[in-house]
Copies of this chain bind each other. A is one copy, B any other.
Amino acid sequence: VALPQNTAEVARIVRLANQENIPLVPRGAGTGLTGGAVAAHGGIVLSMERMNQILELDQANRLAVVQPGLINGDLNRQAAKYGLFYPPDPASVDFSTLGGNIAENAGGMRAVKYGVTKNFVMGLEVVLATGQIIHTGSKCVKDVVGFSLSELFVGSEGSLGIITQATLRLLPLPPKQGTLMALFPSMQKAAQILPAMARAHITPSILEFMDHQCLKALDAKEGTSLASRAAALLLIEVDGQKEKVGADLSLLADLCRQNEALKTDQAKNAPDRERLWSKRRSLHASLHLIKSRWEEEDISVPVAQLPEMLKSLDQVASEHNLVMANFGHFGDGNIHISFAGKDHDLNQSQTLAIRREIYQAAVNLEGRIAAEHGIGLDKTDEISWNLDHSTIEFMTRLKEFLDPVQILNPGKVLPGRERK
């Protein structure tokens, strides 16, 4: 394990690894869900935890220059003092590092309004596999000088270069948030809220859904009876100017009722908001009251295909006699799937078969086998389900161009190749 303190040290370590042909696995906080930070081929784990400083927080230009080991939440706590925030909010926001977020192109709940990590990276300092240091992007909103290289490294899972510094775009912190919970008799009814919101020109900052199984889990934890009354729950948040938030929230409640919501619950104050949010936050714990071990998946489909995808998932669950809980981000087509055998444990080959049925269902709807949790070690064999042969061949050559000795996070993202 190497714990560099600055870019020059990173470059020296990378150069050594390249000369000696030693695998190099960059690591933020290790919170990734597909094994991106796992040293599967041994070698050096390059932990960025000591490079955790905010180098610049520029209120007037609304940007921050940060080191990769900085925790996402720490940036937001500092930015808040200047009335700013950094929108990408993966569930790991209080533990995961910005370098890791960038390497994984992390999403989160607010992506429906604000976008994913890629949309907030203005520039990067990157150490290439040879130890060469390059700088991408700038502090300017409009910039067409040279090629746009930042995005090549965003989401590359440490396999194309080591991110040693990032310039991140910040936004003015909305003065007000409003939260609404709505229960629906079916997911199809809940889904009708999407085009209705578009027609009303409301863009929620958060639009989370939970399916029937999630409601059962919440009932098990909280002694409620949601699942007997409803089949789907939406948790909607709007943010902005005070008056606008109030108006949007009322309009949203109306839209929910017009689409046969069984109940709407509007948070009137902070504790009230906390009460609604606790349902989402306790979901993982609640699910573990039902099954001690769940397999988890992360896929996405074009937004309007989400209800269709949920139907396909029901079918997979019923065919394999599974307990399956689906929740996630309604507004951006991203579903997080938890599954387990109903009265049996799943072995590895059963799990793989089920995962692949899920991928196939997503692909059938022009969806993706990985939305915001990376490819990592887990899905390299299946990227050909989304990418044609020519595109994978090009990505592989691009990887070889950037990392000729194949030291950078080997075995991640692309299908396995023997190291030289």
A interface residue numbers (CB < 8 A to B): 58, 60-63, 83, 104-105, 107, 111-112, 115-116, 118-119, 128, 132-136, 138-152, 154-156, 160, 172, 174-175, 195, 198-201, 240-241, 243-244, 247, 300-305, 329, 332-334, 366-375, 379, 383, 386-388, 390-395, 397-399, 401, 413-414
Taking CB atoms, residues of chain B closer than 8 Å to A147 are: 152, 155-156, 160, 395, 398-399, 413
B148 touches A368 (CB 8 A): no
Chain B residues with CB below 8 A from A199, complex form: 83, 172
A141 near B332: Cβ-Cβ < 8 Å? yes
Q: What residue of chain B has the Cβ atom nearest to residue A128's Cβ? A: B394
User: Other than the known A148-B156, A152-B152, A200-B241, what 16 A-B pairs have Cβ atoms closer than 8 Å?
Assistant: A60-B195, A61-B302, A107-B142, A116-B141, A119-B119, A132-B393, A134-B391, A135-B388, A140-B333, A142-B334, A144-B374, A146-B391, A151-B151, A151-B152, A174-B201, A175-B201
- Judge whether A142 and B156 touch: CB under 8 Å: no
Q: Decide: A146 and B413 in contact? CB cutoff 8 A.
A: yes
How close is A404's CB to chain B, nearest CB, in angstroms?
11
Residues of B within 8 A of A243 (CB): 247
**Residue from B128, B145, B195 in contact with A368 in the complex, judged by beta carbons closer than 8 Å:** B145
Distance, CA A285 to CA B367, complexed state (A) = 49
Interface of A is mostly: loop
User: Quick check: B201 and A172 within 8 Å, CB to CB?
Assistant: yes
Whether the Cβ atoms of A371 and B143 lie closer than 8 Å is yes
Some 12 contacts from A to B, beta carbons below 8 A apart, are: A58-B304, A115-B141, A134-B390, A134-B394, A135-B387, A140-B366, A144-B371, A145-B379, A145-B383, A146-B383, A149-B394, A172-B198
Closest B residue to A160 by beta carbon equals: B147
B391→A144 contact, CB < 8 A:
no
| CB atoms of A375 and B145 under 8 A apart | yes
For residue A252, give the distance in angstroms from its CB to the closest CB of chain B: 13
Query: Bound complex: CA of A96 vs CA of B99, how far in Å?
Result: 38
Contact present for A142 and B201 (CB under 8 Å): no
| Across-interface contacts of A370 in B (CB, < 8 A) | 143-145
- With contacts A160-B147, A172-B198 known, is A371 near B152, CB below 8 A? no
Q: A61-B305, A139-B366 are in contact. Are A148 and B151 (CB under 8 A)?
A: yes
Tell me if B375 and A142 are in contact (CB < 8 A): no
Given contacts A141-B332, A141-B333, A201-B174, contact A146 B244 (CB under 8 A): no
Given the interface pairs A132-B394, A134-B394, A302-B61, the reply to whether A154 lies near B145 with Cβ below 8 Å is no
Q: Quick one: closest B residue to A242, CB to CB?
A: B201
In the bound complex, what is the Cα–Cα distance between A115 and B200 (angstroms)? Answer: 22
In the bound complex, CA of A302 to CA of B329 (Å): 33
Q: How far is the CA of A302 from the CA of B408 in the complex (A)?
A: 34
Question: Could you tell me if A140 and B390 are in contact, using CB atoms closer than 8 angstroms?
Answer: no
Going nearest first, the 9 A-B pairs with the smallest beta carbon separation are A60-B304, A151-B151, A142-B371, A141-B332, A61-B302, A140-B300, A139-B302, A134-B391, A145-B386
**A160 CB to closest chain B CB, in angstroms?**
7
Which B residues are in CB contact (< 8 Å) with A329? 142
Chain B: CB-nearest residue to A374: B144
For residue A107, which residue of chain B has the nearest CB?
B142
- Measured CB to CB, the nearest residue on chain B to A392 is B146
Output the nearest chain B residue to A240 by Cβ-Cβ distance.
B201
Query: In the complex, what residue of chain B is closest to A371 when comparing beta carbons?
Result: B142
Closest residue of chain B to A141, judged by CB?
Answer: B332
Q: Which residues of B contact A198 (CB under 8 A)?
A: 62, 172
Determine if A142 and B300 form an interchain contact, defined as CB atoms under 8 angstroms apart.
Answer: yes
Say yes or no: B300 contacts A133, CB within 8 Å.
Answer: no
Alpha-carbon distance between A386 and B145 when the two chains are bound, in angstroms: 7
Q: Is the CB of B201 within 8 A of A144?
A: no
Contact between A105 and B148, CB atoms less than 8 A apart: yes
- Known A-B contacts A119-B119, A302-B139; the reply to A369 vs B247 at CB < 8 A is no
